[in-house]
Chain A
Amino acid sequence: MASIKFDHVWKRFGDFAALKDFTLDVADQEFLVLVGPSGCGKTTALRCLAGLEEVTSGTIMIGDRVVNDIPPKDRDIAMVFQSYALYPHMSVYDNMAFGLKLRKIPKAEIDRRVKEAAEMLQIGHLLDRKPKALSGGQRQRVALGRAIVRHPSVFLMDEPLSNLDAKLRVQTRAEISKLHQRLKTTFIYVTHDQTEAMTMGTRIAVMRDGVLQQLDTPQNLYDHPANMFVAGFIGSPSMNFFEATLVRGDGQVLVDFGPFQLPVPPSRIDAIADHIGMPIFFGIRPEDIHDAHYVPRGVDESARLMTTVNVVEPLGSEVYAYVENGGKEMVARLDPRTKARTGEVLEIIIDMSKMHIFDRDTERALI
């Protein structure tokens, strides 16, 4: 049983609170990602879980034990550090065997586990080398191997991919996911990269300034962000935000942006009924803005807008276009066949069924 529970955890460094009332439940064998910008508290949470920092108040449980007073070595965890932290004076084999030797595991068993992990990570041929003779990617695997051989209840990972080059990063991402499926152990993974978070996590905890913003599956975070921060953090390019008001007019409900208005589709009217007449933040993702000539099937075409194109970024599989109307600028992900050109006019269709509304003061999602 290696579920994890953060229960109203606070961590203060002097006057500064790195974690504020942090409460989180992680199920056994989950791959939970802690994600957020620098300083959001994700690494602090990980280190508190590892026992490398003491919590100021609150409890942390691993399985059914409260581990607040238990030192790292007795928490049955393994950790991969951002800098890998390999022991420079030991060979790869000894690096991996170190924790097992300390626990007085018989030599034969140590040998078996090390070789098994080495094979899993394809570093069997490096066992005699010292860390300084390895490449970054190889060192990372050794760090992983060192964690694997311990057969811990929980794996902790602190931004393990950030020191790798882009291509290696993508490759290793998939391998870590495979590892998770194979080992069937709980993984707690810290990153600042939302792509990593989305692709790897069974659930994601988005954090900001020590506060948990939302804990949910990747798809739910995407579809139903709890506030503007999460909405803007998840998805690339970020969601477009506008100050707007909900108004009634011509028998419809409209979103009034100022220079233009867009109709709310009938399916969403009930949900927003309470907020009509109020100023709000309106959000729409770039992928839900289409070139009027290349609208995917099934999308309601009633929300149309003429815009001027400011910047066009062709990516091959799609085109990012920065367009504006009346001073309101937005990013759109367009079909690659689009004829949008800088300086020209483009008619766009906005899929209002995917709209997001946020409270002006709290930035919370209203629907």
Chain B
Amino acid sequence: MQQAETLSARPARRVRWMNRDRAIALLMIAPSALAIAVFVYGFIGWTAYISMTDWRGLAISTSFVGFDNYLTIFSTGRFQTNIRNLIVFTLFFLASCLVIGLLLAVLVDARIRFEGFFRSVYIFPMALSFIVTGVVWQWLFAPGNWPNDPTGINLLFKQSGLGFLQAAWTTDTNVVPGWRIEGLRTRIGIPMAMIPVVVAAVWQMSGFVMAMYLAGLRGIPDEIKEAARVDGATEWQVFRHITLPMLQPITLSAVIILGHISLKIFDLIITMTGGAPGNNTEVPGLYMYEITFKANKFAEGAAVAMVMLVVVALLVVPYLIYNRRTEVER
């Protein structure tokens, strides 16, 4: 490929030169494009196909059953519980990360000393695996024989005189408020055992949100805030009417990223609770694994996987298209 000769005098030859490079460029990206085409889109299609068969265990032949599997899983109490748990987890996780992330960013931005140190501490959990997080927080939230012989943070509360804060945490079987609705086979409300899981996830990810908001806060020109102050705004009003709206793009990015992580969550759950107690902390990501690789119900597992994919796509695809359109404008 080495052609370091000087420019030829004939323009026609140079145009052909460019085309050759173009061809090489296409050739270079082709393997990746192909890999993605197969390993992402091809496999998705295949899973979709499996989800519409009745493949179970070692069945040699399978037949097409349309959307039966979907109807089946949506009618089970277990999957409905999964969905309820996922909704609870996602909402609490997202809200907490955004609020705490923004709060940390504002605090760190307030010209504190040793800013670099605090920033590093808040972000470091991002370097850990969900498995590590799960192991440690599992023990933090293990309640022990509370209130008399507790362990974990219950013990910490007791030892520091805050014993009234003890709770069942990951062993809590309550769902608050726990209403039964006709037609649904799960209780509506917040499974209390999910709270510790949310805390662990927020501990891991809020530093990331902080980093994003911090970059955003520092990107707001001082003069705009000064103009607002001259216009009559108090510091709070500057924050609410100027800073916060200008951070919207970041909030959107954070929601998309946290959202898709939250919808796929598996590692953390399997380590911290395994889905227990009952199925109060089980989510589709975990359920798919159990039903596919433990129970060998491949078709139903595929259906669960496809549901997960559709939900994630609903979140991400509009954002990708919007992002692309605004980039074209630039």
Do A and B come into direct contact in the complex, CB within 8 Å? yes
A81 near B246: Cβ-Cβ < 8 Å = no
Q: Which residues from A are CB-within-8-Å of B242?
A: 87
A73 near B221: Cβ-Cβ < 8 Å = no
CA A77 – CA B230 in complex, angstroms? 7
- Interface assignment of B233: CB less than 8 Å from any CB of chain A: yes
* Interface window among A96-104, A160-168, A215-223: A96-104
- Interface assignment of A79: CB less than 8 Å from any CB of chain B: yes
CA A52 – CA B232 in complex, angstroms? 12
Contact A83:B221 (CB < 8 A) given known A52-B229, A73-B234: yes
Q: Which residues from A are CB-within-8-Å of B253?
A: none
- Chain B, residues 194-222, CB within 8 Å of chain A (1/0): the string is 00000000000000000000000000010
Q: Which residues from A are CB-within-8-Å of B246?
A: 88-89
A150 near B248: Cβ-Cβ < 8 Å = no
Contact A89:B232 (CB < 8 A) given known A79-B227, A83-B223, A102-B237: no
- Interface assignment of A311: CB less than 8 Å from any CB of chain B: no
Q: Which residues from A are CB-within-8-Å of B248?
A: 89
B221 near A99: Cβ-Cβ < 8 Å = no
Select B228's contact among A50, A51, A87, beta carbons within 8 Å: A87
B226 near A52: Cβ-Cβ < 8 Å = yes
Which of under 10, 10 to 19, 20 to 34, or 35 or more describes the interface residues of A? Answer: 20 to 34
CA A71 – CA B229 in complex, angstroms? 8
Of residues 74 through 111 on chain A, the ones whose CB sits less than 8 Å from some CB of chain B are 77-79, 81, 83, 85-89, 98-99, 102-103
Q: What is the size, in residues, of chain B's interface with A at 8 Å between Cβ atoms? A: 18
Select A150's contact among B229, B231, B233, B245, beta carbons within 8 Å: B231
CB distance from A169 to the nearest CB of B (A): 21
A89 near B229: Cβ-Cβ < 8 Å = no
- Chain A, residues 145-159, CB within 8 Å of chain B (1/0): the string is 010001000000000
B229 near A81: Cβ-Cβ < 8 Å = no
Q: Which residues from B are CB-within-8-Å of A150?
A: 231-232
Contact A79:B230 (CB < 8 A) given known A85-B224, A87-B224, A87-B242: yes
- Interface assignment of B241: CB less than 8 Å from any CB of chain A: yes
Contact A72:B224 (CB < 8 A) given known A87-B242, A88-B246, A89-B248: no
Q: Which residues from B are CB-within-8-Å of A102?
A: 231-233, 237
* A-B contacts at CB below 8 angstroms, number: 58
Q: Which residues from A are CB-within-8-Å of B231?
A: 73, 78, 98-99, 102, 146, 150
B230 near A73: Cβ-Cβ < 8 Å = yes
CB distance from B75 to the nearest CB of A (A): 46
Contact A78:B223 (CB < 8 A) given known A87-B242, A89-B246, A98-B241: no
Q: Which residues from B are CB-within-8-Å of A89?
A: 245-246, 248
CA A136 – CA B154 in complex, angstroms? 62
CA A98 – CA B233 in complex, angstroms? 9
Q: Which residues from B are CB-within-8-Å of A72?
A: 226, 229-230
B228 near A98: Cβ-Cβ < 8 Å = yes
CA A146 – CA B233 in complex, angstroms? 14
A81 near B227: Cβ-Cβ < 8 Å = yes
Contact A50:B230 (CB < 8 A) given known A89-B246, A102-B237: yes
CA A71 – CA B223 in complex, angstroms? 16
Of residues 220 through 262 on chain B, the ones whose CB sits less than 8 Å from some CB of chain A are 221, 223-224, 226-234, 237, 241-242, 245-246, 248
CA A50 – CA B226 in complex, angstroms? 10
Q: Which residues from A are CB-within-8-Å of B221?
A: 83, 85
Select B232's contact among A81, A83, A87, A103, beta carbons within 8 Å: A103
User: Sorted from nearest, which 10 A-B pairs have the closest CB atoms?
Assistant: A99-B231, A85-B227, A85-B223, A73-B232, A102-B232, A89-B245, A79-B230, A72-B230, A72-B229, A85-B224
Q: Which residues of A contact B (CB under 8 A)?
A: 50-52, 71-73, 77-79, 81, 83, 85-89, 98-99, 102-103, 146, 150
A-B contact pairs, 7 of them (CB 8 A): A51-B230, A72-B229, A73-B231, A78-B231, A81-B227, A102-B237, A150-B231
6 extra A-B contacts, CB within 8 A, seeds A85-B226, A85-B227, A99-B232: A52-B226, A78-B230, A79-B230, A86-B227, A88-B246, A150-B231
Q: Which residues of B contact A (CB under 8 A)?
A: 221, 223-224, 226-234, 237, 241-242, 245-246, 248
